[in-house]
Chains A and B, each alone.
Chain A
Amino acid sequence: MTVHTVAPHRAARAARRRGLALGLLAWLAGLAFFLPVAWMVLTSLHSESDAATNPPSLGAGLTLDAYREFFDSAAGTGPWPALINSFTASTFSTLFVLLLALPAAYALSIRRVRKWTDVLFFFLSTKMLPAVAGLLPIYLIAKNSGMLDNIWLLVILYTSMNLPIAVWMMQSFLADIPVSIIEAAQIDGARLPSILARVVAPVAGPGLAATALICFIFSWNEMLFARVLTGVTAQTAPVFLTSFITSQGLFLAKVCAASVVISLPVLAAGFAAQDKLVQGLSLGAVK
């Protein structure tokens, strides 16, 4: 927000100086928050022995050794199966979340069921249950139904994990849609799925994108269930990452390289869609 008023000369200069100072402060804050990430990237490009010096060797030669070792498939399968698993789990769970949440949000915002706030509260309350308390029964159920070490089990769990937040976010986006548009579509004889697809989705587009991104991020990051429920074939990327903390001697550069690679998809998506994120995160608070 800039000052549009016609102010005396001195006041304008003071305001400009203040603006400059605040801009500088913002830059400093940004750099401070980014420093650990930059340090991680720099460390990942150092050799193991340069990574573990004090004071830090900033100017040490750069090498891709750590990345080479991370992608080295001589020791087993390499990271690709884990990355693909993470990708499968995150993409499909996000897809299912959207498929389930959109109609539900419709029923909670456009054509509301009675006591819709209670329903909304119920959705959100499942998010407050400690996930760890459900770990054992889910493990036992998975074991008895042969679903252990199966990426689709994670898809289902991640769907339920993100569904409440998605319903909540989306109901607030849909509540923004003018009722008249929907009524017009109804009078034209459109049915629910086509109303959702043709009328609701385009208007709530940015919100949907933000919801999808948030769901994707949380699924990609999940570790507790992945650690307990997967094994040989369904291991996800975060679990794979922990196997790099070895007693094999220095591991800092390797862990940093692995962290960079594993965070990259989320970083890229997040950077690309940050405007959507800002809009989307206004969720229930809009209005």
Chain B
Amino acid sequence: MAYRGNRRSRHTAQAVAAAGAAAALLAACSGAGGTASSGGGETVNVLMVNNPQMIELQKLTADHFTKETGIKVNFTVLPENDVRDKISQDFSNQAGQYDVATISNFEIPFFAKNRWLHPLDSYVAKDKAFDQGDILAPMRESLTAEDGKLYGQPFYGESSFLMYRKDVFAEKGLKMSDSPTWQQVADLAAKADGAKPGMKGICLRGQPGWGEVIAPLTTVVNTFGGTWFTKDWQARLTAPEFKKATKFYVDLVRRHGEAGAAQSGYAECLNNLAQGKVAMWYDATAAAGSLESAKSPVKDRIGYVQAPVDKTPSSGWLYTWAWGVQKASKHPDNAWKFISWASSKKYEALVGEKIGWENVPAGKRASTYGNADYRKAAAAFHEVTKRSITGADPRNPGVQPRPTIGIQFVDIPEFSDLGTKVSQEISAAIAGRQSVDQALNKSQALAEKVAKEYRGR
């Protein structure tokens, strides 16, 4: 008996030792991790959306920026919906994983208010070569927070406009006005539908996401006289104007829009127009660079006119992917050096020379539109782009006063959630799974919940 018991206690000792070893192993792992992630030397971590302009920047960075400054740039590149989640997570927790991120004029005001961003004024003042005065006024204004400080530098800016196939229109004897109304566009879409085998009249985003279907839809709502909220925070999603605009949008895309509209976002529509699947497309001005690039099958066949209107003289949105520096960043000086390079005139020239002037990340500097090379390469669209951007009025985009700044969005933090939920309802209406009335009734309830919070503030 004693012999048995003895052996058992040896077992215990063994097992305890094994457990201890496992714990030590874990501790060692965590220790190793702690030092590995902090890194060292001259680096900047950049988190950005995977738009074409950013991918080109990524390709040019090592040979130019790093070569000149010795600062290594670590990029994380993600699709738009993913990158937004990741940015807000990293910035709201001030986790400091990223020094620089692509944020937009939507996030800047409330990110700055929450003290998540590094103000850039002192850097701008010292960096004469950057030439802050050259940045277009609407961009500067939309990247300045309530406290009057500057919190972002635009990488490129965009408005929205209407693109159409000039060759198809000529063939069918259709005529596009320079400042079309939405009714005209709907008529043209009906006529252009089926102009070629498999070609639809128009591409409009239908994919869920506040940055997807909600952006073009809200500009239509604005010009039809509707608004998400009144000045004193009453939700107006079931008001006649909002309803009319939404019905118009959903009907148009259901009747003459692209196949698979409920899953189509910017990327899918760009494909559709480039592959000859649609005759028109209402979307971001930044698309023109891709459509006119050397590789594009529809190069020189696209016409560009200002965003279609109804009750307002213009209706284009205003958006910029801008660089913001996280407050918790350990390398703010390096971060600025990177921004100062990426948003510089010099970088635009580099893209013009290496990739083609039509691909320049434009829409942010006045000097771009004075550049002869750019004007030549972007002859088809640069003027209407600049007019759309400078003509956009983010403080007063509709027919009534608004509670916040913003054209295609309402500039409150809750909008990313509200917009996404509403977008899912709209998307379901586009897919024909519910009526527009049903979609808007549900959306109104969601919006009213947010409005109530603000009325109480």
- Contacting pair B37 A245 (CB below 8 A): no
Interface membership of A23, Cβ < 8 A: no
Cβ–Cβ < 8 Å partners of B15 in chain A: 103, 192
Interface of B is mostly: helix
Q: Which of A219-249 contact B (CB under 8 A)?
A: 227-228, 231-235, 242-243, 245-249
Q: Which of B249-275 contact A (CB under 8 A)?
A: 265-267, 270-271, 274-275
A143 to B51, CA, bound (A): 29
Cβ–Cβ < 8 Å partners of A100 in chain B: 22
User: Quick one: which of B22, B75, B86, B267 contacts A246, CB cutoff 8 A?
Assistant: B267
Give a binary string over A243-282; 1 marks a CB under 8 Å from any B CB, 0 the rest.
1011111110000000000000000000000000000000
Q: How far is the CB of A215 from chain B (nearest CB, A)?
A: 17
Interface residues of A (CB under 8 A from B): 49, 52, 54, 74-76, 96, 99-100, 103, 139-140, 143, 145-153, 155-156, 186, 189, 191-193, 227-228, 231-235, 242-243, 245-251
Q: Give 10 A-B contacts (CB < 8 Å), ordered by A residue.
A: A145-B34, A231-B76, A233-B37, A233-B74, A235-B76, A246-B52, A246-B79, A248-B50, A248-B52, A250-B271
User: Quick one: which of A76, A150, A193, A249 contacts B33, CB cutoff 8 A?
Assistant: A150
> How many B residues are at the interface, by size bracket?
35 or more
Cβ–Cβ < 8 Å partners of A249 in chain B: 52, 270-271, 274, 290, 295-296
Minimal Cβ-Cβ distance residue in B for A100? B22
- With A193-B18, A242-B78 as contacts: A247 and B266 at CB distance below 8 Å: yes
A52 to B198, CA, bound (A): 14
A29 to B301, CA, bound (A): 47
Interface membership of B77, Cβ < 8 A: yes
Interface membership of B400, Cβ < 8 A: no
Interface with A: B90-98, B114-122, B162-170, B187-195, which one? B90-98
Interface of A is mostly: loop
- Contacting pair A231 B97 (CB below 8 A): yes
- Contacting pair A243 B275 (CB below 8 A): no
A84 to B77, CA, bound (A): 18
A139 to B59, CA, bound (A): 31
A227 to B47, CA, bound (A): 13
A147 to B14, CA, bound (A): 31
A96 to B52, CA, bound (A): 41
- Contacting pair B33 A192 (CB below 8 A): no
- Contacting pair A191 B32 (CB below 8 A): no
Q: How far is the CB of A153 from chain B (nearest CB, A)?
A: 6
Interface membership of B355, Cβ < 8 A: no
- Contacting pair B74 A247 (CB below 8 A): no
A193 to B80, CA, bound (A): 51
A153 to B198, CA, bound (A): 50
